[in-house]
């Protein structure tokens, strides 16, 4: 028997438990944890925007603030909107577990295991990437102090943040507290992005496994031995196999649509802020590269916009890739129905196959409003981001 929570969602469970969003353990403590972490994220976003109040706004200054604030806005949206849909996520996991409990043979278990392991490997890879990038992120913030120690410079240098922040206190005196707040917020946001994103990816991977099982059941029901030796018993087995194939295919589409409808508003906001973030950070990279100041302090400012651009690009790609993956797996069910040797089956079975072909004649896609999640849409998002960057560059 397959236990999804312990076998394939264990890494996702650890990440979501860390930020109080694992749907199966919602106690008073996790509610307090959510309020505390959400407040930390939101206040970090606010204090990144408060310099607009106290300082003169130039195009360089506005871009510097918004390039970072847009990423934190993504963190806040992702974290809070997932918490709103946590009951729906719990229900979907229960339904997925029930479907796995009804699998028929070892080949179907092997298919689900393959897709579950793919999701687990992707989660592990993203966690490793985040852990490896964290030291670079921390070193960049203490670069000036480290450089002074290496060069044995005794002159005390004022502390500088990588991005402007206004806490309305003596920032030199409370530098490390402010830095702690910023770093904790960033870690919460990255954990939320990876934890929530990979959980959704794991759901879609399992629905792709269900589509693959539907294809397997059709092939198994319409194998050559059955068709060449048609009798009453074999006809019943063929009908039963096709019915089970249609059933799991219907359940896969139902689960996918249910999940997509639950997160549609979240995904739309992420698309908008993702495009804005990529455009602003591309422009920020351009500003730093073409600045007159060529010192190491200026060069270290490249780290954050490059990191933010990479995170946004990777998230866009993975989101659209899994949408394309679901569409392709549904299409493969249609291809399987078309390729089986239906033409040597009895007429009433041929009619049933024709019904399946008509059912699959339209593509099954993931939608966010009018947008279809696919590799083509990913290319459109990147093109749009570059277009906005070009507009900002031309108006400087």
- Contact, 30 vs 18, CB < 8 A? no
Q: Which residues pair with 368 in a beta bridge?
A: 371
User: How big is the CA angle at 192 (ends 24 and 167), to the nearest 5 degrees?
Assistant: 125
pLDDT tens digits along 145-175: 555 555 555 545 556 677 778 888 888 788 8
Prediction pTM value: 0.88
- Contact, 287 vs 314, CB < 8 A? no
Query: Nearest Cα to 274, choosing from 306, 308, 302?
Result: 308
Gyration radius (Cα) of the chain, Å: 26
Reported as type and span, the H/E element at residue 388 is helix 375-394
For residue 193, the tally of other CB atoms under 10 A from its CB is 22
**What average pLDDT does the segment 60-72 reach?**
88
Distance CA 312, CA 334 (A): 34
Per-residue DSSP letter, 20: T
Q: Which residues pair with 367 in a beta bridge?
A: 372
Contacts of 111 (CB under 8 A, 6+ apart): 209, 212, 213, 216
Residue with the larger pLDDT of the pair 337 and 314: 314
Distance CA 199, CA 13 (A): 8
Residue 14 — very low, low, confident or very high, per pLDDT cuts 50/70/90? very high
Give the count of domains, the chain. Answer: 1
CA torsion angle for 111, 115, 117, 122 (degrees, to 10)?
Answer: 170
pLDDT tens digits along 31-46: 899 999 999 999 999 9
Phi/psi-derived region of residue 164, left when phi > 0, alpha when psi is between -120 and 50, beta in every other case: beta
CA torsion angle for 34, 37, 39, 44 (degrees, to 10)?
Answer: -160
Query: How confident is the model at residue 362, as a pLDDT?
Result: 61
pLDDT tens digits along 237-255: 777 888 888 888 889 988 9
Q: Which residue range(s) make up the domain with 59?
A: 4-394
pLDDT tens digits along 273-331: 999 999 999 998 888 887 665 555 566 778 888 888 998 999 999 999 999 999 999 88
Residue 128 — very low, low, confident or very high, per pLDDT cuts 50/70/90? very high
């Amino acid at each position: 028997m397959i236990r999804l929570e312990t076998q394939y969602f264990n890494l996702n469970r650890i990440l979501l438990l860390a930020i109080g969003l694992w749907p199966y353990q919602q106690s008073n403590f996790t509610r307090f944890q959510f309020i505390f972490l959400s407040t930390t994220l939101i206040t970090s976003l606010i204090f990144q925007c408060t310099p607009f109040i106290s300082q003169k706004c130039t195009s360089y200054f506005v871009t510097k603030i918004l390039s970072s604030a847009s990423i934190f806005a993504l963190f806040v949206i992702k974290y809070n909107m997932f918490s709103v849909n946590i009951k729906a996520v719990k229900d979907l996991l229960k339904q997925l577990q029930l479907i796995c409990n009804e699998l028929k043979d070892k080949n179907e278990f092997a298919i689900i295991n393959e897709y579950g392991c793919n999701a687990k490997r992707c989660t592990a890879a993203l966690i490793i990437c985040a852990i490896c990038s964290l030291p670079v992120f921390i070193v960049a913030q203490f670069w000036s102090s480290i450089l002074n120690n290496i060069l044995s410079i005794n002159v005390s240098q004022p502390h500088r943040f990588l991005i402007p922040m206004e806490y309305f206190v003596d920032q030199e005196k409370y530098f490390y507290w402010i830095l702690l707040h910023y770093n904790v917020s960033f870690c919460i946001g990255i954990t939320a992005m990876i934890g929530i994103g990979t959980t959704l990816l794991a759901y879609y991977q399992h629905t792709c496994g269900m589509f693959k099982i539907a294809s397997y059941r059709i092939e198994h029901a319409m194998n050559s031995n059955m068709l060449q030796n048609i009798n009453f018993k074999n006809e019943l087995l063929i009908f039963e196999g096709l019915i089970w194939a249609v059933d799991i295919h219907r359940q896969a589409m139902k689960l996918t649509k249910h999940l997509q409808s639950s997160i549609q508003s979240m995904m739309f906001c992420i698309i908008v802020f993702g495009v804005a973030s990529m455009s602003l950070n591309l422009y920020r990279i351009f500003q730093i590269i073409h600045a007159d100041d060529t010192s190491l302090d200026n060069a270290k400012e490249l780290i954050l916009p490059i990191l933010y651009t990479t995170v946004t690009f990777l998230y866009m790609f993975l989101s659209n890739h899994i949408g394309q993956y679901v569409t392709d797996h549904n299409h493969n069910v249609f291809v399987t129905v078309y390729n089986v040797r239906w033409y040597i089956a009895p007429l009433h079975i041929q009619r049933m196959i024709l019904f399946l072909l008509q059912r699959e004649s339209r593509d099954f896609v993931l939608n966010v409003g009018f947008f279809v999640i696919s590799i083509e849409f990913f290319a459109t998002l990147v093109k749009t981001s570059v277009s906005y960057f070009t507009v900002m560059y031309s108006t400087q």
